[in-house]
Amino acid sequence: MSIHIVADKNSIADTVLLPGDPLRAKHIAQTYLTDVVQYNEIRGMYGFTGRYHGQRVSVQGTGMGMPSFSIYAQELIDSYGAKRLVRVGTCGTMSESLKLKDVLIVQGADSDSGMNVSRFGTYQFAPTATFSLLMRAYENVKKMGIGYAVGNVFTSDQFYDMKGDEKKAIAQSVGTMAVDMETCELYTLAHLKGIEALTLLTVSDSLLSGNQIAPKDRQTTFDSMVDLALQTLFD
């Protein structure tokens, strides 16, 4: 049994959706899954297992940032045998071609985090998605009639960053499209531990204009991304 997820070993599926917000985990479970069982509530970080079109799937909140995400992802992999992890979160766009409510299918992650420096020293590891999941997501999103892009994300350690403008300029100069706080760790763990991983991000705000999705519209837009994730995994 792990420390932050306390559940029977067989209560978690080998495929897990990972929203940061535990209330979004609850929403996904209630909206998309049948035969739902809640397996975790430690620290209010809810986890659920149910079925999507007969296929077993879990949904686990992870909190914000790479350190919090890493705890839940590693426990899912090491203690519960998770084999496919898909992050379903939000991001801020820094690209003119990625608009509010669009979905970013993340192929790779830049970062300013010290976590991989601690792991690899001066070796500059480039964390990337599992190609088969990336391609299935791309093929599915083209049929859905929603805005999308495929590209890199900048995974930042800081939400409020005094050097944010400087880092944004560097990210834009190499074509990075958006910023989040978790994907670099997901993709790194996937390569280290031999599992499949993908990040899908709904654009909730713009670092260019300062515009944001209205709170009443966020849930519907988020649902389109979850539809994409489940179709990619199971259809």
DSSP code of residue 10 = G
Is the Cβ–Cβ distance between 89 and 201 less than 8 Å? yes
Q: Looking at 205, 217, 223, 227, which residue is catalytic?
A: 205
Question: Quick one: tokens of 140?
Answer: 């599915």
Is the Cβ–Cβ distance between 62 and 69 less than 8 Å? yes
CA angle 202, 208, 186 (to 5 degrees): 40
CB-CB neighbours of 119 under 10 Å:
11
Question: Quick one: tokens of 60?
Answer: 């686990």
DSSP code of residue 162 = T
- Distances in whole angstroms, Cα of residue 83 to Cα of each of 113, 121, 139, 230: 25, 27, 22, 15
Amino acid symbol at 122: T
DSSP string, 47-76: EEEEEETTEEEEEE---SSHHHHHHHHHHH
> Residue 205 catalytic?
yes
Question: In sequence order, what are the beta bridge partners of 86?
Answer: 17, 198
Show which residues are catalytic.
205
